Amino acid sequence: MKNKIIIVTMISLVFLIIPQANAESVPDWVKNTAGWWSTDAISEKEFVNSIEFLVNDKIIQVSVSESIGTSNGVPDWVKNTAGWWSTDAISEKEFVNAIEFLIKS
């Protein structure tokens, strides 16, 4: 019984530590930029530049085939998602997942 408790505790710690490690990888200035863009305080280009930084710094993983394509601008749902993340309504992981989805689609 004691071994089961130790195993469950170890597994729980792994799941608690992994999201925190990923959460530290996105710089605070990117979150600020997302918030400013969601309120139209900065341009879409400035927001896109911050996303490009995440891709170039390998915080968001993108294959070469995914990065080639045309764009008609950033969809409105991304602006909403950026605003939610900037106010902590969603997690950083959810925001990064949304950006990765956008890039892949």
Q: Is the model's pTM score more than 0.85? A: no
Boundaries of domain holding 41? 27-104
Judge whether 55 lies within some domain.
yes
> Which 3 state secondary structure label does DSSP give 59?
coil
Q: Tell me: the pLDDT tens digits for 78-103?
A: 999 999 999 999 999 999 999 989 88
Judge whether 20 lies within some domain.
no
Number of structural domains, the chain?
Answer: 1
Q: At what angle do helices 92-104 and 76-86 cross, to 10 degrees?
A: 160
Q: Give the pLDDT mean for 17-22.
A: 40
What DSSP string describes 68-86?
-S------HHHHHHHHHHH
